[in-house]
Amino acid sequence: MKEWWSRLEVTTIKKKWYKAIGIIVGFLFFGYLLIKVYQSASIIDIGRLLQNIRFGMLLMSILILAIQIFFSAVLWSIILKNFDTKVRFSDCMVAYNLSLLAKYLPGGIWNHVGRVVYLQRKGVSLAVTSSSIIYEFLFLTVTSATIGGFLLLEYSVRNAWIIVLIVMAMLLFICWPNVVIDSMNKILVLFRRRKISERLSRKNSLIIFLLFILSWAIYGLAFLVLIKAMNFEYSENFLHLVAILAGSWLAGYISPTPGGIGVREGLMAYFFERTSIAFFSSFISFFSRVWFICAEILTLTFFFMLLGLKNLWRRRCRNEQRLPT
């Protein structure tokens, strides 16, 4: 018992250190970005910049981003339903949207934990939910790397082997998507858990892959509208913009910082410094966090309004059925 307790204490300490490092890294990146914004403010007329914002286009960009966030929930729900056809689509959507509330907690895992806990109450096994989250991460990684690979190809990068490796990884993942499930099953056997019998077909893998590419395109469209709303001139092509967004978003996603704060914006500013909006790179990167939070709040508000209306309609139908005829 003492040995088990000591192991638990060591694990808890490690987790605390992991969270502390994540918070420190996030603050360092965000602090650096704030310094850059402050330096830009001494050169840029912020007041005039804000006056020139096209608020109609700004609202449109937030709406498009909210659609992309909602679409991300649909994509994860599709993956999960491939593994467990009995789970209700509405439960998947509730689990995903509730997890957004835990996204900004330290550690970077609580949004995933929220999905697991909620769906366990609905009868979905831990292994199935965990597998769907892992596949979501893999699809995000592979699609963002694919977009970056085509960008490298467009600019004729000399290190062609990087492009070859990216394309090979993409093809391997699409053609043999169940390698991850097989690895998960080996781990489950060690812990005497039930194996995952559901498989992801190559056809479904390809369809989900293309849908994730579409999701990145919607995100890029939302950001392009944001740039236009700020009256900035972005001369690079659309694929270049999506590659920047995909790379910086993924870096923030895998970082231990709460919601990727600091890491995502810092990397985005670094990439934008090499574009036609280099002068406003720090400002647009900092502003994008506020913009993204607004879209998340809008998505959650709209979703829970729909959920409330649905529950109200069900309650009304039950009351009508109870009324004497």
Which tens digit of pLDDT belongs to each residue from 96-139? 988 887 776 665 566 778 888 888 888 888 888 888 888 898 88
pLDDT value at position 223? 94
Q: Say if 13 falls within a structural domain.
A: yes
pLDDT of residue 291: 92
8-state DSSP, 255: S
Closest to 180 (Cα-Cα) out of 137, 212, 215: 137
Retrieve residue 58's tokens: 């700004």
- Indicate whether 320 belongs to any domain: no
**Domain membership flag for residue 184:** yes
Instruction: Measure the CA–CA gap between 128 and 201, rounded to whole angstroms.
Output: 16
User: 242 in a domain, yes or no?
Assistant: yes
Overall number of domains in the chain: 1
pLDDT at 11: 42
Per-residue DSSP letter, 324: -
Q: 3-state class of 231 per DSSP?
A: coil
Taking only the tens of pLDDT, the chain with its 325 residues reads 444 344 434 444 444 555 565 556 555 655 655 555 555 555 565 666 667 788 899 999 999 999 999 999 999 999 998 887 788 888 888 889 888 877 766 655 667 788 888 888 888 888 888 888 888 988 888 888 788 766 666 555 555 566 667 677 777 777 787 777 777 778 777 777 777 666 788 888 889 999 999 999 999 999 999 999 988 888 888 888 888 888 888 777 777 666 667 778 877 888 888 888 877 888 888 888 889 999 999 998 888 888 888 888 878 877 777 656 5
Is 18 within the bounds of a domain?
Answer: yes
Q: What's the CA dihedral at 117, 247, 150, 169 to 10 degrees? A: -50
Q: What DSSP line would sit under 120-160, residue for residue?
A: HHTT--HHHHHHHHHHHHHHHHHHHHHHHHHHHHHTT-S-H
Domain-embedded: residue 317 = no
Is 300 within a domain? Answer: yes
Residue 132: domain span? 2-43+55-312
Task: Give the Cα separation of 170 and 212 in Å (integer).
Answer: 13
Q: Is residue 50 part of a domain?
A: no
